């Protein structure tokens, strides 16, 4: 999906909500465990209930890999199910990959190749190994790298604020990576728990889309993120995972997830005005 | 596998060779493509031929994921095959994972849990997201984190040398992570292409094992790495992937791989004296 298609979805739905499919099998509603593939059944119902309100979905690969080969089958089924809805939503592999060029090329094939099992629109990538670990992900047309810049967790402070001559590491990532990709194929992960940093981030990356985790369970404020993070094309995808998908564990889980997504969508619509 | 067991394997085999199972399906010997699972068949023959000379194996997950669900099945079969040889070798998931704590816990389960499909001894982890992204991997007994410090690729220069008050980022990773894990459960990735850095690295991490990629196809020198990197317990696992597994593409590929592994083992034995 290219940038203008993504912006159109956001405009149509009045939403820049990304629903995180962190579908932990230990947290699924009990009644789904009798299904042949509980994770896929869960995702399918979540997608059906939230699609009118969500601009994007973001399966986190960890929650599939933790079920081994069977989990990867659940991920494949989820992607097959989303295939018929691909002009209605942007789909991100939250995989945080990155390796030497020869190897990143294989990860790019795994997650972005239209001929592969997973054909995502975008993949999250870790910057530590530098340019040749990131570049192979730019090979596929209309596919995106979403590079970690400032993450939402406590450990972000360990290295991301490491500072040289008044430049912090996450700022160096933001500026350096703009030599590798453009606003048409590169986004950055910037955590909602650091909303006060968005002014500074927007100075360094005014036009790029930002994928913003940390609203909801991790405590970030949507209002604050929008205040400092929105740009003229919206420029944000704000993720909520646990706050939507595990809001209810009864047989009504999908309905409640849809309501939670609608609440966020309505709040987002008010900021988009 | 614990530290003394690993050291015993190294002493017995007089080898600290790690064979990288970067089993790219596009590079396999042609005659294997008629097999039901060419990647598994390739790995099985490589393992049989190299086991006398290798202290460790390191499947890189990218080369399995790039074949989708089927590739993960090849990885599972490889791990099942290695299960009967687990007191003869140390097995590393070269996965370079790392995410917020909640999510890294799932990656740890995926790759280190004895109940899971993959039950590796160790996993490579990217440090960018800090302590809570790394700590969940220390949960499993006798399992290891191998944290990226100074990698073997060109892009290493983009961020790993970022310097604050005479401390480079990779040095900060080396020292900070020693507050999270011990020499019993934490190793570091230090690329062989930076052999001149090993003196400095050994000052900061004298006792930890180092996983050293970059010998062979990437141009690093085994002799140089050993000169500066060996410690009293050996303290090195030196990886070669393409230089061994793709040394020959004929029906003799495994025999040639065994010979290449033996050559490296013999060189290593001379440095261990």
**DSSP string computed for A34-57:** GSSSHHHHHHHHHHHHHTTT-SEE
Mean pLDDT of B206-235: 92
Would you place residue B195 in the very low, low, confident or very high pLDDT band (cuts 50, 70, 90)?
Answer: confident
Please state, rounded to an integer, the average pLDDT across all residues of chain B. 96
What distance lies between CA A116 and its chain's CA centroid? 20
- pLDDT 10s digits, B137-183: 999 999 999 999 999 899 999 999 999 999 999 999 999 999 999 99
Torsion angles phi and psi, residue B155, rounded to 5: -60, -15
Q: Is A97 helix (H, G, I), strand (E, B) or coil?
A: strand
Helices (H), chain B: 3-13, 38-50, 62-65, 68-83, 101-112, 131-134, 156-159, 169-176, 198-204, 222-229, 242-245, 253-272
Cβ contact B232:B242 at 8 Å: no
What CATH number corresponds to the domain at position B228?
Answer: 3.20.20.70
With 80 as the cut, is the pLDDT of residue B241 above it? yes
* Active site (annotated) includes residue B96: yes
Per-residue model confidence (pLDDT) at position A226: 95
Q: Which residues of A touch B97 (CB under 8 A)?
A: 62, 96
Per-residue pLDDT band for A195 (boundaries 50, 70, 90) equals: confident
Mean pLDDT, residues A181-185: 98
8 Å CB contact of B153 and A163 = no
Q: What single-letter DSSP state applies at residue A269?
A: H
Dist CA B144 CA B185 (whole Å): 4
**B216: pLDDT strictly greater than 80:** no
Average pLDDT, integer, range A143-165:
96
Residue of A nearest to B126 (CA): A128
**What is the sign, positive or negative, of the torsion defined by CA atoms of A57, A23, A189, A237?**
positive
What confidence tier does B196 reach under pLDDT thresholds 50, 70, 90? confident
- Residues A74 and B40: their CA atoms lie apart, in Å, by 22
Q: What is the CA radius of gyration of chain A?
A: 18
User: What is the nearest CA distance from B12 to chain A, expressed in angstroms?
Assistant: 32
Residue with structure tokens 């047309």? A141
Mean per-residue pLDDT for A220-243? Answer: 95
User: Does residue B93 carry a pLDDT above 90?
Assistant: yes
The verdict on a CB contact (< 8 Å) between A130 and B96 is no
* A107 interaction partners in chain B (CB closer than 8 Å): 62, 65-66
In whole angstroms, give the CA distance from residue B272 to residue B16: 9
Q: Which residues contact B266 (CB under 8 A, 6 or more apart)?
A: none
Domain count, chain A: 1
Using the beta-carbon criterion (under 8 Å), do B154 and A117 form an inter-chain contact? no
Identify the band that residue A207 occupies on the pLDDT scale cut at 50, 70 and 90: very high
pLDDT of residue A2: 98
Closest-CA residue of B relative to A25 is: B106
Q: What is the pLDDT of residue B31?
A: 97
Which residue segment(s) compose the domain that A172 sits in? 3-272
| Residue given tokens 């790690």 in the structure block | B18
What does the pLDDT average to over A118-147?
Answer: 98
Helix H segments across A146-205? 156-159, 169-176, 198-204
Return the DSSP state at A167: E
Nearest to B68 among A98, A118, A131 (CB): A118
Q: Do B99 and A62 touch (CB under 8 A)?
A: yes
ipTM surpasses 0.90: yes
Tell the burial category of B110 from Cβ atoms under 10 Å away from its Cβ (0-12, 13-18, 19+).
buried
* pLDDT score of B240: 95
Average pLDDT over residues A45-54: 98
Task: Return d(Cα B134, Cα A131) in angstroms, integer.
Answer: 23
| Residue B220: per-residue pLDDT | 82
Look at A8-22, A190-204, B66-80 and tell me which has the smallest mean pLDDT: A190-204
Confidence of residue B194 (pLDDT cuts 50, 70, 90): confident
Task: With a cut of 90, say whether residue B42 has pLDDT above it.
Answer: yes
pLDDT of residue B193 exceeding 90: no
């Amino acid at each position: 999906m290219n940038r203008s298609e993504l912006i159109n979805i956001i405009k149509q739905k009045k939403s820049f909500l990304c629903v995180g499919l962190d579908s932990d099998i230990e947290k699924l509603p009990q009644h789904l465990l009798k299904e042949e593939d509980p994770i896929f059944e869960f995702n399918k119902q979540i997608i059906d209930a939230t699609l009118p309100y969500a601009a994007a979905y973001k399966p986190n690969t960890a929650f599939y890999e933790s079920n081994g080969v069977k989990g990867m089958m659940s991920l494949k089924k989820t992607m097959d199910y989303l295939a018929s809805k691909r002009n209605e939503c942007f789909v991100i592999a939250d995989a945080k990959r990155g390796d030497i060029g020869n190897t990143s090329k294989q990860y790019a094939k795994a997650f972005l190749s239209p001929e592969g099992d997973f054909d995502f629109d975008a993949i999250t990538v870790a910057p530590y190994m530098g340019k040749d670990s990131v570049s192979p992900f730019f090979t596929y047309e209309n596919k995106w790298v979403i590079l970690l810049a400032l993450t939402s967790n406590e450990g972000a402070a360990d290295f991301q604020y490491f500072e040289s001559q008044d430049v912090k590491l996450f700022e160096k990532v933001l500026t350096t990576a703009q030599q590798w990709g453009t606003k048409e194929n590169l986004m950055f992960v910037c955590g909602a728990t650091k909303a006060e940093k968005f002014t500074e981030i927007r100075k360094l990356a005014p036009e790029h889309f930002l994928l913003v985790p940390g609203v909801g369970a991790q405590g970030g404020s949507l209002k604050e993120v929008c205040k400092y993070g929105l740009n003229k094309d919206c420029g944000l995808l704000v993720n909520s995972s646990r706050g939507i998908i595990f809001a209810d564990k009864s047989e009504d889980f999908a309905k409640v997830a849809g309501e939670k997504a609608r609440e966020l969508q309505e709040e987002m619509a008010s900021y988009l005005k």
